[in-house]
Structure 1
């Protein structure tokens, strides 16, 4: 079993409320437990522990475990009931496992959603793999770390906002003080050489005027300032609180893994519930973490030339596969190459691909265009490190960039973007720009499918377009010259390669501003025309035009 390096303080914060005193429960009272006796298999609160004297004094080796040894406590009844309960049908227990969907099911889940799935096994018959738990441990730690990082970013933004508004409020107060002082000086000048009676009247009048100024100030300016701050802080607080909730929920299930390692069925359930919590956390972070800027930590180069290659490699596209391997389109040698996680070529097929997109976990689609007569989409399947070409369909226009989303294919022709069905039926033309030679080349889609990021090499621009073809943003920058391909990471970060500026630029998720120039010619990059990101190795991989090497930049 893999180690679980979570601090005891954090563990205590999460699991403390899961345990109730066994003695108090017998009297229908729910009190948090502070001790556990293994020999008695009993939990004790701070009061009931005084009645426990079966195994000697507390400080003896046989004494009950306190909260400082909470890792030696068994799983609580509350947690066990939570793990066994179906997340959808709360009153039902999980009893089955659908292999088609890799989902735990209760009897209602099977009847309603998995009646046609095969096989649906009883949980006790599902094989458990220890290596899965070790990999899961790494994923959990990485997810918990990213949740904390996202929470920290939003807390920093909130503090910065509070400081700005505090300074604004202070300036408003100082302005009000000056106004009052100015009014008092004016009153003092008017009261010189006047009678005592008139001065008394003036003092009362001044008091009313000052009260009026302060009331107006407090009820308008200060109130509006505080209301505006509250309004602007609301989305930040929402992210902070959601991160805390995801962190606690994931940590609770993660902690249960070690406590149930000897209980086969419960261990399997806990593992899959842990995966569900990771997925929920990742979906949320992908929606809120897209502008996290990468920092380069190191680089390496890897040769992808094969002995059968007759020309220098032109890596026009790259794709990270679900198992951590890579597909690269070597247009110079008319091949699609499969690389393992060490960036070594392990298989290939003879297809002159311009761009690649994922269709299913075992199938991709590539655009094939020779700039003369061939314009088609080719499907390639891979199984046990072998690439096999399958069906294909012809196009009536040039084809370069390609992406897939929810059963639709999006294809760039150089001057327009078209939407097709997977069978090759043209659905519509989404976007067109005929103002230059190559204006619609490479593109990527946001994970929500609501935005398309399109490169325009001839105009040295990045366009952001809505799903219906509406132009949302246009970006240009001296450090983004002749942009080729664009890539969206699993967390939603947008990476663009500028071929003539020799750069990889990170954009914000709206496509309106540059967040950073991540790599440039100073890093040894020359004519980059493809880029991708591997979450397995936390690396940005860059393909170059006319170079047998790919460059790998380790990032945080």
Structure 2
């Protein structure tokens, strides 16, 4: 970073991004675009304000501090989504390997069972003749099995490659955008005393940030889910005294799921088949839950936060935070805890220290009911239960957007996926919606009363199983929607 501007970097800054080998010479104010002579000739001949670069750079001042912050945020987001894509490819590869193994093992078991039956039932009657027949059959089946394994593995690898191909394209785009933006980020401090290069670098940087934002929106945050199946799973235990009220759901990276049953005052661990394998009785009726690490969650209830760890399919209580505020919703991002306290949103450290009050609305009850945070931490979402609204806040608590919809009455459960997709359920409207990351529009109605949704309380997405899990009020079952 401290090295002076190299000739290679200067050449790179002056190069036209569209026409390789051409040098930037002009700036089109009409399109806010850097141009080479070919750009001007082909695309900007009718533009009124095409200015030579030395003149365009004269008197131009850029807020390099804010530009640097914006660049670092964009770089951080691109790196996050690059890692996310790589994890998806890795997970896909593991699941296909396991699937291959299950298919082959199943076939092998069936063949061996058949041979055993054949030997047991017939070899005693015609021992010598049948013994040779069985040996021949075993050899023949062994070769068939070997051919099957080869063909199956080949087919599965081809299928895996087809599914991984679009993921690789997006990953490579993340890497390319990050590379280009990073080099501009490095170049800007080196050209502050060179007006023309400084103007080019800052303009290119702003263009790349805009491209990155569009790319992330199109490929991640606003990618619409498609529901392609549903299953229903009972989570009631024999020891439960009441009908379940699943007020919070958390999906773990290993495919297990935690549900908070408010009426029975329990946190339950479900295995990959959504069967209860462990539970903990808690003192407070739980109102919210969020993931802290791959094996730890924080459960909010009344005026405390209880940390719970998962190990070897067993739950164990950890430390506890006592707060001065009522807790009805909770979210976590990189060491920051966000606590909903019916009419305000507070930010705490993981140790329980209050950082600040980010937002408040005392005009009604339960205006700040549940909260969720984007994977890059730049957006906060709040369900305003009594006001039938979904609020979107900036990192500092500034209100950015308010969303209302007849299909979203008494918004309750709220969740943001690792890719930034926003899910919210309407308690009175009995709906599960996907909303744009900006918090201003509905992208899809994923489930309604016709799909079995009744008084939904919580919603969560599991990237491990590609499914949306919905918990409901006064219902012993959870709904699992398979999505693409």
Matches within 5 A, 1:95-244: 134=97, 142-146=163-167
Matched with 2:272 is 341
Matched with 2:256 is 325
Aligned equivalents of 2:307 and 2:222: distance in 1? 33
Aligned equivalents of 1:315 and 1:293: distance in 2? 26
Alpha-carbon deviation of 1:491? 1.5
1:367 is aligned to 2:300: yes
Alpha-carbon deviation of 1:361? 2.1
1:475 is aligned to 2:440: no
Contact in 1 for aligned 2:226/2:483 (Cα 8 Å): yes
Matches within 5 A, 1:311-322: 311-322=242-253
- TM-score, length basis structure 2: 0.58
Q: Which has the higher contact order (CA 8 A, sep 6+)?
A: 2
Instruction: Give the match's secondary structure for 1:398.
Output: strand
1:399 is aligned to 2:327: yes
Structure 1 395/139 Cα, relative in aligned 2: closer, same or farther at 3 Å?
A: farther
Moved over 3 A (4+): 130-133, 135-143, 145-152, 234-240, 284-288
Aligned equivalents of 1:131 and 1:555: distance in 2? 19
Q: Name structure 1 gaps, 5 residues minimum.
A: 1-129, 153-230, 243-283, 370-374
Aligned equivalents of 1:512 and 1:486: distance in 2? 15
Aligned equivalents of 2:241 and 2:224: distance in 1? 39
The C-alpha deviation readout for 1:134-183, integer Å capped at 9, x for no partner, is: 3697987644344568999xxxxxxxxxxxxxxxxxxxxxxxxxxxxxxx
Alpha-carbon deviation of 1:294? 1.1
Aligned equivalents of 1:404 and 1:445: distance in 2? 7
Alpha-carbon deviation of 1:554? 1.2
Q: Which structure has the larger Rg over C-alpha atoms? A: 1
Matches within 5 A, 1:155-554: 288-351=219-282, 352-369=285-302, 375-554=303-482
Aligned equivalents of 2:301 and 2:310: distance in 1? 18
Alpha-carbon deviation of 1:406? 1.5
Alpha-carbon deviation of 1:536? 2.0
Aligned equivalents of 1:131 and 1:516: distance in 2? 30
Structure 1 148/367 Cα, relative in aligned 2: closer, same or farther at 3 Å?
A: same
Aligned equivalents of 2:217 and 2:163: distance in 1? 14
Alpha-carbon deviation of 1:497? 0.5
Alpha-carbon deviation of 1:397? 1.5
Contact in 1 for aligned 2:253/2:464 (Cα 8 Å): no
Higher strand share: 2
Aligned equivalents of 2:357 and 2:98: distance in 1? 44
Aligned equivalents of 1:481 and 1:424: distance in 2? 33
Instruction: Give the match's secondary structure for 2:380.
Output: strand
Contact in 1 for aligned 2:413/2:424 (Cα 8 Å): yes
Structure 1 546/512 Cα, relative in aligned 2: closer, same or farther at 3 Å?
A: same
C-alpha RMSD of matched pairs (Å): 3.0
